[in-house]
Structures are given as C-alpha cells and as structure tokens.
Amino acid sequence: MLTPQHNSKDFPYWLLVVAGIGLYMAYRIYTDELYTQIITVVSKGIWITVFVTIFAFSSASLIGLILAVGSLSNSLILRQISRFYIEIVRGIPILILLIYVSFVGTPMLISGLNWMLEPLGIDPLRTRDISLFWRAVIALTIGYSAFIAEVLRAGIQSVDIGQIEAAKALGLNGWQRFRKIIFPQAIRTILPPLGNDFIALIKDSSLVSVLGVADIAQRGKIYAAGSYEYLETYNIVAFIYLMLTVSLSLMLRRLEAKMRAAPSG
C-alpha cells in the first residue's frame, strides 16, 4: 500500500510516455507530407475550439456563481429555482442538450421574441439569424454552468462558518465577506475540480462538430471523409487534443502546488 509520502515522490513516468508520443507525432508531421497536409487543415480549427471553450467556460462560471449563491440563499424561492436548474441540466447529456438548444430551444426563443416584437412593428426574427456556432456555445454554457455551480457551492460551504460570523460581527457586508473571507479560502478547494471542468469542456467542445461548426473535430471529419485517410487524420486530431489537455493539466497542477505552498490568511 502506498503512503502519501510515496505518492508525493512518485516520478511521472506517464509524462515521459506522453512526451514520447508527442515527439513521435512531431517527427511524423515534419517528415511525412500526408501528416503535414492533415495538420495544416485540421489546425485551422484550433482557434474555434479555444474560443468556444474560453467563452463557454467564462459564461458558465458566471452563471454557476449566481446559481451557487442562489442555492445557499436564505430565500426559499431562490434556493428552489437554483436547485431545479442545477438538477435538471445535470441530468441531461451534453450532446442531447446541444441538439435541444439548437433545434428546439432556439426556434421557441425566436417565436417568443417575435410575439413580443410584432405589436411594435419590428421586423420578425428568423431562426437562422442565430448561427449554429452560437447555439453550440449557449448549449455548452448552460450545460457546464450546472456542474460549475456545484463546485462553487461546495467551495463556499468549505469555509469555516465561524470566520463568516466573525466577519459579520466586524460589520462587513455580504460582498465584503465574499471578497475578503470566503473567496480567498474557497478558491483552494474550488480550483482542482474547476480545472477538471475546464479540461473536460475542451474535450466536450468537439461535440459542436455535430452542428457543423468548423472546430478541430469537424475539420478532421471532413478531411477523413474526403481522403479516406482515417488513421492518419484521427491520429492528428487526437494528438492536438492531447497536447491541449495535457499542457493545461500540467499548468493547473503547478498553480495548485503554488497555492498550497502559499501561506493562508
């Protein structure tokens, strides 16, 4: 049985394997014209993947914070609304949510807006006015906001209630308590699972290819379908996602280590 000391000194041999894979793929890309051509095409979708991930994660974090605060509110109505949203959204697979938002939610939203705009004499909106790209971003935002809300709620609840009561006794208002007492302590608990959600969102962003959004996965799918070079194409696609997720994971681990080493308070 391994002790915590053994775990802390465990050499990351897995990282050597990943580095080996990376070097091998880099060699193939440099020496093989087919691999070079594939990565030239597929890599054009990287900025789409990065934008979708960052925008959806930022929006989901903001909504998640509102939901987390609502679920801890003294108001019964706010608590129930927040819990309803969180539990319903977490129970729906991201792919189904993506399709539902794109082909059911968006037309319903457009119909509702047109019903309100019609008496004002404003030209009606059309469903195609909202691109599939933004429908995908909205769906990912909705989906991940529920998961992030639970992460933030757990982090807020991890703060000693005695410190919060002491802050109240000192006359700090709700925002001051959150900014000076709750958040600095909760972030240490929140960061690891929040980082995991960010990495998971990078991978789940590939689902936008279902709607034809030209991200890494979609460009790879189109190239493979046209060239029948499935092995080489999906080697490149997997390689790009692996490099994105592993590099981010390593950066998050370094950040977590620095935060653990930093003095509390």
Does residue 5 have a pLDDT over 70?
no
Q: Is residue 246 part of a domain?
A: no
Distance from C-alpha of 177 to C-alpha of 247, rounded to nearest angstrom = 35
Picking from 217, 223, 229, the residue whose alpha carbon sits closest to that of residue 32 is 229
| Total residues belonging to the chain | 265
Q: Is residue 74 part of a domain?
A: yes
The confidence band for 1, taking pLDDT boundaries of 50, 70 and 90, is very low
Q: Is residue 238 part of a domain?
A: no
Q: Is residue 231 part of a domain?
A: no
Picking from 132, 145, 66, 67, the residue whose alpha carbon sits closest to that of residue 105 is 132
Q: Which range marks the domain in which residue 151 is found?
A: 47-208
DSSP state of 72: T
Question: For the chain, what is the domain count?
Answer: 1
List the CATH number of the domain containing 154.
1.10.3720.10
Does residue 4 have a pLDDT over 60?
no
Q: What is the pTM of this model?
A: 0.85
Cα 65 from chain centroid?
14
- pLDDT per position as a tens digit, 115-149: 777 777 677 777 777 889 999 999 999 999 999 99
Neighbours of 83 (CB within 10 A): 14
Least confident residue range of 4-13, 97-106, 168-177: 4-13
Does residue 3 have a pLDDT over 60?
no
Chain mean pLDDT for the chain? 86
Region of 171 please: left (phi>0), alpha (psi -120 to 50) or beta. Answer: left
Q: Is residue 25 part of a domain?
A: no
Q: Is residue 80 part of a domain?
A: yes
Average pLDDT score over residue span 76-98:
94
- pLDDT per position as a tens digit, 232-260: 999 999 999 999 998 888 888 888 777 77
Q: Is residue 58 part of a domain?
A: yes
- pLDDT per position as a tens digit, 148-167: 999 999 888 888 777 777 77
Sign of torsion, CA 197 198 199 204? Answer: positive
Q: Is residue 190 part of a domain?
A: yes
